[in-house]
Structure 1
Amino acid sequence: MTTVTEAVPPAPAKHRDQVATSLPPARGQSFLKLVTLELRKSVDTRSGRVLIAAILLLAVAAVGWQLTHLPRGTINFDGFLAAATSGPVMILPVIGVMAMTSEWTQRTALTTFTLSPRRIRVQLAKFVSAIVLGAVVTTGVVVLALAGTALGGATSGRATSYAGMGGEIAAGYLTVALNVVMAAAFGAVIAQTAVAILVFYIAPTAWRLAGPELFKDNANWLDVFGALGRIAERDLHGMLPETLTAIGVWIVLPTLVGLWASSRREVK
């Protein structure tokens, strides 16, 4: 017996158009979504969690040391803040480096830029996420400094002073943000975590050591550590042009170069 199979006629073009138009329109990724994803990447890795834990442990150790070496007289918040931030300020910029280099060192750039092909937006989201994460960790350090000040006053029976706390905290946040952006810029330019960290720590330090010998007072125009120190002290000492120039050369310029290099770097 022969079975006759009737051919199914193709759907009319009008019906296909109706099906296509009934689908929801494709929505682009919002910048906030990209920042959230980059934040999750930063804390989901073992290296990211270890780095954050190390920063907070350093702050705890510094506050504990300060509690066992209380100065005479009034206990000032600025002393605890300086102690709590001394170690973390040196390590916090690594957050920026890792945010920019992880895609390339872990070979996930192909996946990331396939899902989000607009590279500049992705890189800007990485900058923002590094700043946000740095601010969150800094907040934890500030809380530890506040707790240490209160505990020191309670255990010693001495008066505590929080004079100028707002300005000091604001200057601290700004300094941390600039350091993180500079480190992220080096990471965007170099795209190798170890090399970027090495260059970030060595290049400005080498200039600060060699610059005064070679250019005398003119070395201040490129001394980024001096510029950041003046910002942290909330006193530019009449060196606004030098401060802006150093920030432009060491932070703004590498950021622009890093964004350009990341947009043209070959993805493997």
Structure 2
Amino acid sequence: MTTVPQTQAAPARQSAGGGIPFSRLLQVEFRKSWDTRSGFWLLFSIGAIVFVAELIAAIVLAVNNESDVDFGTFATVAGFISQLLLPVLGIMLVTSEWSQRTAMVTFSLEPRRGRVVEAKMTVGLLWTALTVAFALMVGAVFNLLYGAIAGHLDWSGGAGITGFVITQTLAMLLGFALAALLLNTPAAIVIYFAYLFALPTILAIGSALMGWFKSFQEWINYSDAQSPLYDGFWNMSGSEWGKLLVSCALWFGIPLTLGLRRILRAEVK
């Protein structure tokens, strides 16, 4: 009499969970933003250069005995420095996956690439807030120092501080958008600095040579469109808001949309 072997039924497949929590993605991306030599030295450089620039500004202003110095003056100095380096941080947040060839591991552990991009952008905004807070704190210290040297202390310039916060956020987001579009660190950095320094010169030349171009370039000049923010966004006219929104859509919205489409569809190697 033969015995028919019995096979055990396969265990029921457990339903998939909700995936990696977004909070954990944030923790991972935040650590990746500074736990490399390039990330650490970039963040250290931002803090160190802001401190040195504020020190030099305080000394020069005290030597020249400037009378119209306030807290907003030191915020503007910090803003110029951080506007140069914060976009590089936004660029590295995106391109590190591709330059360090970790995209396959990252997107294998979390196939929902959009959530990874959201975590990276949130980390960029978090670092921007921390950088702005540090810059304002350093500015407050040097404003006190200048007040002690010059004999008068002025805490005005609140409108300039508000513009400083907004423009730094926009600068980081612009770097983030260019990085998403190009997925290459050197290319994104070069394009950003070309936009920051070369584009205003080209637009100014075009305005000088062609009369009709002057009014047109006001709608595509991202840097000039942000200038009214330093006078307080509550004082901006409808035309100024329109120019800011159009230039934001051109230099941030379009690159970010195309970049997200590329990241979501790119072949990971």
Q: List structure 1 segments (4+ residues) > 4 angstroms apart after TM superposition.
A: 8-11
Deviation at 1:210, TM superposition (A): 2.2
Identity of aligned residues (%): 27
- 1:121-200 matches, within 5 Å, as 121-154=115-148, 156=149, 158-165=151-158, 167-200=159-192
**How many residue pairs align between the two structures?**
253
Distance 1:132 1:183, change over 3 A: same
Aligned to 1:65: 56
The answer for unaligned runs of 5 or more in structure 1 is 1-7
Amino acid at match of 1:76: D
Of 93, 96, 99 in structure 2, the residue corresponding to residue 102 of structure 1 is 96
Distance 1:233 1:110 in 2: 46
Distance 1:60 1:152 in 2: 14
Aligned to 2:229: 231
Distance 1:249 1:72 in 2: 39
Give a deviation string over 1:82-108, Cα, whole Å, max 9, x none: 223322221111011101100000000
8 A Cα contact 1:75 1:158, kept in partner: no
Aligned to 1:261: 262
Distance 1:9 1:160 in 2: 89
Distance 2:184 2:121 in 1: 16
8 A Cα contact 1:38 1:125, kept in partner: yes
RMSD of aligned alpha carbons: 2.4
Of 15, 20, 23 in structure 2, the residue corresponding to residue 29 of structure 1 is 20
Task: Indicate yes or no: 2:45 matched with 1:45.
Answer: no
Aligned to 1:5: none
- TM-score normalised by structure 2 residue count: 0.85
The answer for unaligned runs of 5 or more in structure 2 is none
Aligned to 1:4: none
Distance 1:218 1:75 in 2: 35
3-state SS of 1:33 partner: helix
- 1:69-84 matches, within 5 Å, as 69=60, 70=62, 71-73=65-67, 75-84=69-78
